[in-house]
């Protein structure tokens, strides 16, 4: 018996099964960078020293790649807790980068089939993955605008928390793309307000190696007051962007619920061992971060002295936000000169004509500054 031929519009019918909002979305775009100086993604410019390369290779080669990841991840959790200086009773959940942890938190807090949509809240402009994860996991997203100078609008945040009763409130500390480290008192009052209505606060410290303080200090000082806080970090800014390793610290009862929705083998044996190796040599990466903090000061001073730069914001991260007369023209001019930066001017009205520059080593910063000056 011959089966009937499929209809001509089989592909169209299959595509119709994809959620309309997903079909309307744009994928996360990574700019082509071959032959370019890449200053658009806040990557560490330093490669692994040759001696460490030589030591890491055999260690990775000896791994049991034929086996699923196992108990070695417990060693990594312990090492991350020790490195961060977390309270001994805290637990850790691992992610394939902090992006996955953002997804897992949204997934754990979504309320499908209940008739009630959970809400995620965050100051904006902020990290694009917060609203994207809310959309994909079926949460409502509420963005609370920052002040024109990119500080927290505390009254607006408190009013939004009271109105929307968010399940998840994100506080990026420092913030991306503004590089702002917000007032500690305001942050604690927002955390208190979220706790009073039974929500979770995720303090995102992706850029902690470049910041002057960490929220972990407050969590250690007042654990009960911050019991509903999950502290999220990544080894990307530590210097391992290619390893894709994020981690979330917090009270064990809360961390255990997030861990339930984590894919069982989300962190490979290669990622795990490379991260453990790097933590054993944390002093090397700490020195790199110190060099980048020093170069950040030099870069900001040069930017503030450059004609055509309208404003340069202070930074507590490995990026600097600037405002120019025409962000699109300047961005394209730098791209023509083989330097990639991030044009964030269309991300939010407050970012009008703003560009985000990665802090690199002295040579990369000099090249970027020359291209910027020529492109203004």
| pLDDT tens for each residue of 89-148 | 999 999 999 999 999 999 999 988 787 899 999 999 999 999 999 999 999 999 999 999
CA distances from residue 282 to 125, 171, 238 in whole angstroms, order as listed: 32, 26, 9
Q: Mean pLDDT score of the chain, rounded to an integer? A: 95
The token pair at 250 is 């917090």
All structural domains of the chain, each given as residue ranges with its CATH number in brackets, are: 28-49+284-375 (3.90.1150.10), 67-280 (3.40.640.10)
Q: 173-219, pLDDT tens digit by residue?
A: 999 999 999 999 999 999 999 999 999 999 999 999 999 999 999 99
Instruction: Give pLDDT, residue 1.
Output: 57
Q: How far, rounded to the nearest angstrom, does the alpha carbon of residue 1 sit from its chain's CA centroid? A: 57
pLDDT tens digits for range 231-244: 999 999 989 999 99
At 5 the pLDDT is: 66
How many other CB atoms are there within 10 angstroms of residue 37's CB atom? 20
Give me the percent of the chain exceeding a pLDDT of 70. 98
* Alpha-carbon gap, residue 82 to 227, rounded angstroms: 19
Structure token pair of residue 309 = 């730069």
The predicted model scores a pTM of 0.94
Q: What pLDDT, on a 0 to 100 scale, did the predictor assign at position 130?
A: 97
How many angstroms separate the CA atoms of 359 and 319, rounded? 5
Closest by CA position to 163, among listed 188, 142, 146, 189: 142
C-alpha distances (whole Å) from 3 to each of 6, 11 are 9, 18
Q: pLDDT tens for residues 45-91?
A: 999 999 999 999 999 999 999 999 999 999 999 999 999 999 989 99
Of all residues in the chain, what percent carry a pLDDT higher than 90?
90
Of 286, 284, 317, which is closest to residue 300 (Cα–Cα)?
Answer: 317
In SS3 terms, the chain reads as CCCCCCCCCHHHHHHCCCCHHHHHCCCCCCCCCCCCEECCCCCCCCCCCHHHHHHHHHHHHCCCCCCCCCCHHHHHHHHHHHHHCCCCCCEEEEECHHHHHHHHHHHHHCCCCCCCCCEEEEEECCCCHHHHHHHHHCCEEEEEECCCCCCCCHHHHHHHHHHHCCCEEEEECCCCCCCCCCCHHHHHHHHHHHHHCCCEEEEECCCHHHCCCCCHHHHHHCCCCCCCEEEEEECHHHHHCCCCCEEEEECHHHHHHHHCCCCCCCCCHHHHHHHHHHHHCHHHHHHHHHHHHHHHHHHHHHHHCCCCEEEECCCCCCEEEEEECCHHHHHHHHHHCCEECEECCCCCHHHCCEEEEECCCHHHHHHHHHHHHHHC
Buried b (16+ CB within 10 A) or exposed e, 232-248: bbbbbbbbbbebbbbbb
Token pair, residue 143, equals: 């963005």
For residues 223 and 251, what is the distance between their CA atoms, to the nearest angstrom? 9
Please tell me the predicted confidence (pLDDT) of residue 35: 92
Residue-wise burial string across 252-262, b where 16 or more C-beta atoms lie within 10 A, e elsewhere: eebbeebbebb
């Amino acid at each position: 018996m011959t089966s009937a031929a499929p209809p001509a519009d089989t592909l169209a019918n299959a595509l119709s099964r994809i959620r309309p909002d997903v079909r309307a979305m744009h994928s996360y775009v990574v700019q082509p960078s071959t032959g370019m100086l890449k200053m658009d993604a806040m990557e560490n410019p330093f490669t692994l020293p040759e001696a460490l390369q030589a030591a890491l290779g055999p260690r990775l080669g000896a791994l049991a790649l034929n086996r699923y990841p196992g108990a070695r991840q417990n060693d990594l959790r312990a090492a991350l807790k020790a490195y961060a200086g977390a309270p001994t009773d805290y637990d850790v959940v691992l992610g394939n980068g902090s992006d996955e942890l953002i997804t897992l938190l949204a997934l754990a807090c979504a309320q499908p089939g209940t008739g009630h949509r959970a809400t995620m809240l965050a100051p904006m402009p902020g990290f694009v993955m917060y609203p994207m994860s809310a959309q994909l996991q079926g949460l409502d997203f509420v963005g609370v605008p920052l002040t024109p100078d990119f500080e927290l609008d505390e009254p607006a945040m408190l009013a939004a928390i009271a109105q929307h009763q968010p399940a998840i409130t994100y506080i990026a500390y420092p913030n991306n793309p503004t590089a702002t480290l917000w007032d500690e008192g305001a942050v604690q009052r927002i955390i208190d307000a979220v706790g009073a209505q039974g929500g979770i606060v995720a303090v995102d410290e992706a850029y902690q190696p470049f910041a002057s303080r960490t929220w972990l200090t407050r969590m250690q000082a007042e654990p009960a007051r911050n019991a509903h806080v999950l502290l999220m970090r990544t080894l990307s800014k530590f210097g391992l962007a290619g390893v894709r390793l994020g981690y979330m610290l917090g009270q064990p009862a809360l961390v255990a619920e997030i861990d339930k929705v984590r894919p069982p083998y989300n962190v490979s044996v290669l990622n795990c061992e490379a991260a453990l190796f790097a933590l054993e040599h944390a002093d090397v990466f700490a020195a790199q971060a110190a060099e980048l903090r020093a170069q950040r000061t030099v870069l900001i001073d040069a930017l503030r002295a450059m004609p055509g730069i309208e404003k340069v914001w202070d930074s507590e991260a490995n990026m600097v936000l600037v405002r120019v007369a025409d962000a699109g023209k300047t961005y394209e001019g730098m791209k023509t000169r083989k330097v990639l930066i991030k044009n964030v001017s269309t991300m939010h009205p407050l970012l009008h004509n703003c560009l985000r520059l990665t802090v690199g080593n002295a040579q990369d910063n000099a090249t970027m500054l020359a291209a910027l000056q020529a492109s203004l």
